[in-house]
Amino acid sequence: MSGIVLLSLGGCGMFERAQRPAWRTQAEDYCLSQGYVKASAYIQPLPEISGPGICGMTHPFKVYALENGTIPLSKPVVLDCPMIPTLEAWIDASVQPFAKARFGAPVAELEVFGAYSCRNVDNEAFGKLSEHAFGNAIDVSGFKLSDGREISIVRDWKKSDSQESAFLHESHAGACQSFTTVLGPGSDSFHYNHFHLDLANHGATNTGPRRYCRPTPAPNLIPPPPAPDGLPPAPDVEEQLDVSRAKPAAQQPQFAQGPMDLQGFTASAPPPVATSPAPSYAPALPDDGVDATPTSSVPPHDD
């Protein structure tokens, strides 16, 4: 009898489904509560996307254009709430100033490959879910200026001593100050033709949210790091694995999570708390802080 009881109890954990991490819905709710995104002809709310597995988002938006409709996207994409104001902040702080300085003309259209897609990283059959699976990422392939000129990442990134290349490197470096993950040409074989931009929660350091930016921008393109807050860095955040779409990973201890805003957690997490261990799909990061795992794909896979 005792063996049957133990088997029954073990079966409960064996078949327990993974849940979408709570911080994702918290970030969406916070974004809406602060009025960072308002419905318009260019940004239209959609019903909640729930599944398959833990893919989806609580408050998705279909985005046709940014900046009150003045900067259309090359095709509409579905994004979560926090990505929209972060994209606009990047355009305001980096893309437009650099475009006007280099070309005397602002960006009039953002060329994109895609955003929401319920899939694993780089469309592998097994592995970690991409931030695209939560509408928390977008792939940008280029820019169109108001005078009709087009700047393509795949064509212009490596053009040495050109205004186009300089603009792309400046915009890439600027994205590293807005997003928590930025991958571009040279980061790996998957990102030779676009910027992958996302707001993944990598935890916190003692100088702010933990960010991964590859390739590393030239020193003159990034500001000095902020002063440490005196607290130790928080542990890497490990999230649950979508067991219906990927192989289980080794069990990891769960950690309490600290205060959060649109850019991630704003303070170091408290010490570990006693909770039931859960599998993780977040990548293990080496000591040098380089996240070598690709988090996006080439254009056909995002459609």
Q: Which is more confidently placed, 208 or 26? A: 26
| pLDDT for 14 | 47
179: nearest Cα among 100, 70, 98, 95: 95
Q: Which is more confidently placed, 123 or 243? A: 123
211: nearest Cα among 124, 223, 37: 223
| pLDDT for 288 | 35
Total number of domains constituting the chain: 1
269: which 2 tokens?
Answer: 């997490």
Task: Tell me the per-residue pLDDT of 158-180, one tens digit each, with 9 for 90 and over.
Answer: 998 899 999 999 999 999 999 99
* % of the chain exceeding 70 in pLDDT: 70
Instruction: Give me the residues paired with residue 114 across strands.
Output: 139
What distance in Å separates the CA atoms of residue 217 and residue 204, rounded to the nearest whole number?
21
User: Quick one: which H or E segment has residue 92?
Assistant: none
Using 50, 70 and 90 to split pLDDT, how confident is the model at 13? very low
Q: Which residues are CB-neighbours of 67 under 8 A, at least 6 positions away?
A: 88, 91, 92
What distance in Å separates the CA atoms of residue 85 and residue 199, rounded to the nearest whole number?
12
What distance in Å separates the CA atoms of residue 100 and residue 103, rounded to the nearest whole number?
5
Residue 9 domain flag: no
Average pLDDT over residues 11-30: 76
Angstrom CA distances, 179 to 32, 107, 263, stand at 19, 20, 7
Residue 256 domain flag: yes
Most trustworthy range by pLDDT among 114-128, 153-167, 237-251, 279-293 = 153-167
User: Do residues 260 and 30 touch, judged by C-beta distance below 8 A?
Assistant: yes
| pLDDT for 203 | 86
Task: Pick the range with the lowest mean pLDDT from 7-11, 118-122, 207-211.
Answer: 7-11
Task: Tell me the per-residue pLDDT of 109-129, one tens digit each, with 9 for 90 and over.
Answer: 999 999 999 986 655 555 688
**Residue-number span of the structural domain to which 25 is assigned:** 19-220+227-302
Residue 10 domain flag: no
Using 50, 70 and 90 to split pLDDT, how confident is the model at 18? confident
Residue 74 domain flag: yes
* CA angle in degrees (0–180, nearest 5) for 231-291-298: 140
pTM given for the model: 0.75
Residue 2 domain flag: no
> H/E/C letters for each residue in 217-261?
CCHHHCCCCCCCCCCCCCCCCCCCCCCCCCCCCCCECCECCCCEE
Residue 12 domain flag: no
Residue 1 domain flag: no
Residue 14 domain flag: no
CB atoms closer than 10 angstroms to residue 169 = 18
Using 50, 70 and 90 to split pLDDT, how confident is the model at 224? confident
Task: Pick the range with the lowest mean pLDDT from 46-50, 112-116, 188-192.
Answer: 188-192
Most trustworthy range by pLDDT among 53-67, 122-136, 271-285 = 53-67
Average pLDDT over residues 32-54: 94
